[in-house]
Structure 1
């Protein structure tokens, strides 16, 4: 063993092995490093910029618009689920912490169902919304002449 290996503590050696093990398992995250850790931050954008992209890209624009419309189903489902479950919890228990937990759980479940309904309604399984979002990201980076 080298001098540095012997001087490391038992816990440090095992932590490094553990870290190396999980880095191998999650190496696919390196594919997303340009999105997760960009060299420079994204320029400011709002709905008008998204509409500009949708109008300028005949392939990915409609898919991005459909994905944005589908997100509204998820939002509506989250609101309905949160309010209804929190209301029922409050009606039957009068417990503030129970109503708050029901609100959070109802929002998560209702949002999930809303997204699933949108997937079928808009037939998102036939499209590739992630590719459209990546193209929008690249378009936004290149729009100002910069590239990440």
Structure 2
């Protein structure tokens, strides 16, 4: 870059480019996910029937994906229980609408996390390669389109 162009850039722009380069080097592994984040063509619309079709067609990754889908029910149930119970306690003791709303959100996040942890142990997801099955579904969906 010539000195004129460098001088014409503002102080903040020069530093911003330096920070982008610095963090870009440290998080270069995120480039591995660019095909999922920025696909060449958008994925077609899909619903549970398409997922069931994939599960039936792939004997290796299908059962793992089915187990992952069943595990999400634990997370949803945990989020509902956590959100309602914490918001109920907050409303009971403080009668504060904003406090109840904040505790509702916090309870949903924490309860969902605990629900997913319970599902992880119940279905023994730590033994399965869940990411590989989701990637295979993504690739199958792209080929299908």
User: What TM-score range do you get, normalising by the shorter chain?
Assistant: over 0.9
Aligned alpha-carbon RMSD (Å):
1.0
The answer to whether residue 127 in structure 2 is matched with residue 117 in structure 1 is: no
The answer to whether residue 73 in structure 2 is matched with residue 72 in structure 1 is: yes
How many residues in Structure 1 have an aligned counterpart in Structure 2? 144
* Distance in 2 between residues matched to 1:94 and 1:58, nearest whole Å: 53
**Stretch deviating more after TM superposition (85-94 or 15-24):** 15-24
Q: TM-score, normalised by structure 1?
A: 0.94
Q: What corresponds to 2:41 in structure 1?
A: 40
* 3-state SS of 2:64 partner: helix
* Distance in 2 between residues matched to 1:21 and 1:54, nearest whole Å: 42
The answer to whether residue 61 in structure 2 is matched with residue 60 in structure 1 is: yes
Q: What corresponds to 1:99 in structure 2?
A: 100
Q: Which runs of 5+ in 2 are unaligned?
A: none
Q: What corresponds to 1:49 in structure 2?
A: 50
Q: What corresponds to 1:31 in structure 2?
A: 32
* 3-state SS of 2:40 partner: coil
Q: TM-score, normalised by structure 2?
A: 0.96
Shift of 1:143: 1.1
Q: Which runs of 5+ in 1 are unaligned?
A: none
